[in-house]
Amino acid sequence: MNEIQLEKVEFEPGKSFKLFSPRLRNTFLWHYHPEVELVYVEADAGIRHVGTHISTYTHSDLVFIGGNLPHLNFDYRLRSDYHQIVIQLRTDFLGTAVGLVPEFSVINNLFKSAEYGIAFSGETKNLVAQKLKQLGSLNSLDQLLQLINIFQLLANSNEYVILNDNLTSKNFILKDKIRMGAIYEYIDAQYHQKPDVNIVAEKVNLTTPAFCRYFKRQTNMTFTEFVNQYRIERAKNLLMQNHNVSETCYAIGFESISYFNKLFKQIVGENPSDFRRSWDSKAGKQ
């Protein structure tokens, strides 16, 4: 049975943060770590899975993740080329100053909100992306000052979405790392082949009724609702990679295009054809 992985973050001596550009698109890395993390990725379209939140990002994504909040690597299953910048902070980053120095009060609030996961958009994302791309050319002190400036920008922004409503699911996941790791990995492997609630229940050593209660408590969704949302997010990803509606429908495991259209509109707010036209227009395609 697969466990949610604890990532052991290694820091260079004399550094309070780690700056790197991982490339793990062929790895399903559902993991957590005590360190706070800022992730920026540029790609046509990808999946954002933080805590129990699952959604799709387009063009780029900027997410701030609190300590021990489980998440999937943001480059998972990316097909086209992409660029990613990840910042991981020591658990004692800035020491006690962030909680005591008045000038850091908004940053302190930002770090508290990161416990739920935060996705930034708009001009905030663009400005922070520019500053993140400059970090590699700076010396250590200037990198630290630039990071503080980035956190100040994020803390004062109103262009963001909180990804998880509460920390209850996070606590459940961390208490039951093996079980939730196995469930998410099974869904990812089987979402296009009619995932069977009885099989996944058996995999985690629960009766089917007990599993259904457990999963609903964990995610605030039934197993079927969660799988359908996962499928639709995968569908959005395929549509943004130039797959047509019928190809997408069958690729994610639906046999009825009319049902796929209905479910897609129910979850996304528009039908797949309109979604793809909107995406093509935004991407500058004819």
Instruction: Assess if residue 171 is contained within a domain.
Output: no
Structure tokens at 241: 């990679």
Give the model confidence (pLDDT) of 212-230 as tens digits.
Answer: 998 888 777 899 998 998 8
Query: What pLDDT does residue 157 have?
Result: 97
Residue 30 sits in the same domain as residue 143: yes
Q: Work out the pLDDT band at 38, boundaries 50, 70, 90.
A: very high
In a domain, residue 172? The reply is no
Strand 5-6 with 30-32, pairing:
parallel
Determine what percent of the chain is predicted with pLDDT higher than 90. 55
Bigger pLDDT: 87 or 215?
87
pTM of the model: 0.77
Q: For the domain that residue 29 is a member of, what is the CATH number?
A: 2.60.120
- Considering the domain architecture, whether residues 193 and 255 belong to the same structural domain is answered as yes
Q: What is residue 285's predicted lDDT score, i.e. its pLDDT?
A: 55
Q: φ, ψ for residue 56 (rounded to 5)? A: -110, 140
Give the contacts of 42 (CB within 8 A, at least 6 positions apart): 59, 60, 82, 83, 84, 129
Residue 101 in tokens: 């120095």
Give the pLDDT band of residue 175 (cuts 50, 70, 90).
low
- Domain hosting 215: range is 177-282
Same domain, 155 and 190: no
